Amino acid sequence: MAEHQVTRDETAAAATTGLRGVAADWASDQRTFKDVSWGKAMMWIFLVSDTFIFGIFLLSYMTARISTTEPWPDTGEIFALTFFGQEIPMILIAIMTFVLISSSGTMAMAVNYGYRRDRAKTALLLLITALFGAAFVGMQAFEWAKLIEDGVRPWGNPFGAAQFGSSFFMITGFHGAHVSIGVLFLLIIARKVWRGDFDHGRPGFFTSKKGKYETVEILGLYWHFVDLVWVFIFAFFYLL
């Protein structure tokens, strides 16, 4: 009887190994997310799914660019701006990238001061991050307006391959929407931090437990993801 029981136990243990064991682990929140809050876990799941979407967009862009028989526009010329009679290629894109990367620094500092429960500095840094994000979106709107004025459309453009317009507006527009949503939430969380919602555990949306600034960290995960995606867009779309 004892030997039979041991055999059954060994069989049950073997059943949880391999791929089936991996599935069983991920299906059990007590193992996978034992020390992680649901808010943070759900943000990670969202970011992973969003990574697939951006990855598909960039892969489609590269496929269209490689397969087209028409010449691909020179991004250095298209995105050039003239200052004092001198044409500087991609100067606006460089400034946009610098602004967005800088916002990652202020966001990291906001999370750091949130851990220290420094309400004033956390709120201020969140507002600065939102300002950087709004500046990025504003420059992107200027970039769109300039290209539209030059005749670029989602269905074609006067500089070469027609796929350029659809790829540009789809990829940069989708990313710009993410930045805009992030700016909105930065302002909302900054207001809640300034009012002391996280210190007092005031009921409401996006409020963590009393004395915890975890929502700031979760927002930081989203913002760093948006910045990282822009690095890939910048490399694939503007530099290649």
Rg (alpha carbons) of the chain, rounded to whole number: 24
Provide the domain count of the chain.
Answer: 2
Question: Per-10-residue mean pLDDT for the chain, 240 residues long?
Answer: 46 57 59 67 92 94 88 82 80 93 95 90 96 96 90 83 88 96 95 81 59 84 96 88
Contact assessment for residue 133 and residue 100, using Cβ atoms and an 8 Å cutoff: yes
pLDDT of residue 10: 44
- For residue 51, what is the domain's CATH number? 1.20.120.80
**CA end-to-end span of the chain:** 70
- Same-domain status, 57 and 12: no
pTM: 0.81
Same-domain check for residues 209 and 231: yes
User: Do both 64 and 124 map to the same domain?
Assistant: yes
Q: Do 15 and 47 sit in the same domain of this protein?
A: no
Amino acid, res. 80: A
Give pLDDT, residue 219.
93
pLDDT (0 to 100) of residue 58: 93
Examine the domain organization and report whether 166 and 142 are in the same domain. Answer: yes
Residue 23: predicted pLDDT: 64
Q: What angle do CA 192, 194, 199 make, to 5 degrees?
A: 75
Contacts of 137 by beta carbon, 8 Å cutoff, 6+ apart: 176, 179, 180, 183
